[in-house]
Structure 1
């Protein structure tokens, strides 16, 4: 039996990943700030349980993950998939114009939350015969600077390095755990809508992102989710590798 823990399940890629796993019979634990029709749909299908949590409130993460680990241990799965999908592109603004509270919020969600989740899982499940497969959702923005995306660029670059170092550590101990990152590319999600509505002075590349929508360049998140699920279920993952959806489709 296999289980999965997915963050940001109430919309976009997080919902589609959870749905794809549920349809394959995997028991999914979903985390998001709120419930909605998509979450109710997952609950109705079965093999799904939901925990509302705001992952920007980082003080809540460790106690929650510890409780979830107790549930996982009780179910005795052979493998636990973990998809750190929750993230935000805001604030889109130039350094010197940013709101410091929004910087903290984005760093908490994009970087600190997945690091705390991963660390707590590895710590709490250390003595258990459960293989962890951890996927940190990243972005092409981790590898190239984008005007106005100081915070998003920095957090995604940090997630890539977190993944690569954790991969080296797992290889060094010759354990069974796998830790990778996944770049989903550009998708037709609410995040793209946020980008297209950014202020032109704060984000000079806005015309390019507007064109992604008008010329049909945005992939549907269900297609991206299928590629990721096929990858983690069927492929021999390389620890620390940053996978790109462009390599899989």
Structure 2
């Protein structure tokens, strides 16, 4: 049995991954502001990861004797302000950097500290983005914070070679973040129509498909060894 710790389990990829892992018989602890999942193997930690003072109550416990792998998935994130740099709001900018970069960095530290004595395989998956390596107008904070998370993941692997680490870009996924993008103003975001077209042309991946791909990657450590990955290049085996 695997034990998953997943941030952002109230919607989107985080919820889909938690539900898929539970369906496979694994244990899941979810970190989010809203409790949306009811399952005997699910434990919810009500926390606002954008608030530093709430980290004192976070622990990585509840492992059963038959747990054979423990997995942290840093999924929670925010798009932040979709505006040119000169128009960014200072508070919203700081909050976005905290949630996208500082929070997963701190959770990785706590995860490794709390589980140092447990001699079982450990995996850390940080959900990154294609925007980490491809600049998008008016996405300066999102692009920069995801680029920072990707490089943090590379250094994490160097610091802890016994821990499996991935920074995974899930592709363009039909989540609330995509809805937020489509609600942007064209004067703030010149690429707006492209994202409207993704939805209208049914070019978005479902959160459920992304969850299945993540589980497939987790189950295939010999096949997937690189830190930086894109799920666009991962094909699920035909059933």
Q: Give the TM-score band, short-chain normalised.
A: over 0.9
Partner of residue 204, structure 2: 218
Unaligned runs of 5+ in 1: none
Larger helix fraction of residues = 1
Residue 11 of structure 1 is matched in structure 2 by: 11
The counterpart of 1:227, out of the listed 213, 216, 223, is 213
| 8 Å contact from structure 1 (residues 7, 14) kept in 2 | yes
**1:50-106 C-alpha deviation (Å, 9 max, x unpaired):** 111110002212x233xx32433x656221111100001121111111110001110
Match of 2:164 among 178, 184, 196: 178
Q: Name the Cα RMSD after superposition.
A: 1.6
| 1:49 maps onto 2:39 in alignment | no
Q: Distance in 1 between matches of 2:226 and 2:158?
A: 6
CA distance in 2, matches of 1:157, 1:237: 24
Partner Cα separation in structure 1 for residue 43 and residue 27 of structure 2? 8
1:199 to 2:185 alignment:
yes
Shift of 1:180: 0.8
* Match in the other structure for 1:169: 159
Which position in structure 1 is the counterpart of 2:57?
64
TM-score by length of structure 1 reads 0.89
Cα deviation, 1:19-64, whole Å, max 9, x if unaligned, reads 11000111000111112xxx2xx32x32111111110002212x23
* Structure 2 counterpart of 1:243: 229
- Distance in 1, matches of 2:61 and 2:23, equals 24
1:155 aligned residue (135, 141, 145):
145
**Secondary structure of the residue that 1:134 maps to in structure 2?**
strand
Hey, what does 2:194 align to over in structure 1? 208
Which residue in 2 is equivalent to 1:23? 23
Q: Give the unaligned 5+ runs of structure 2.
A: none
Superposed, 1:78-93 pairs within 5 Å as 78-93=68-83
**How much does 1:151 deviate?**
0.4
Superposed structure 1 runs of 4+ greater than 4 Å apart: 237-240
Cα distance in 1 between the residues matched to 2:150 and 2:12:
21
- How far the C-alpha of 1:165 sits from its partner, in A, is 1.0
Q: CA deviation at 1:128?
A: 2.1
